[in-house]
A and B are shown apart, each in its own frame.
Chain A
Amino acid sequence: MLSCKDVTRLCSEEQDRPLTLSERLNLRMHLAICKACTNFRQQMVFLRAATRRYREGRKEPDGE
Chain B
Amino acid sequence: MIPGELKYTKEHEWVRMEENEVVIGITDHAQSQLGDITFVELPDAGKDVKQSDSLATVESVKAASDIYAPLSGKVTEVNTSLQDTPEMINQSPYGDGWVCRVDVGDKTELDGLMDAAAYEEFIKGTSS
Do these two chains really belong together in a complex?
Answer: no
| A contact set with B: CB distance below 8 Å | none
| B contact set with A: CB distance below 8 Å | none
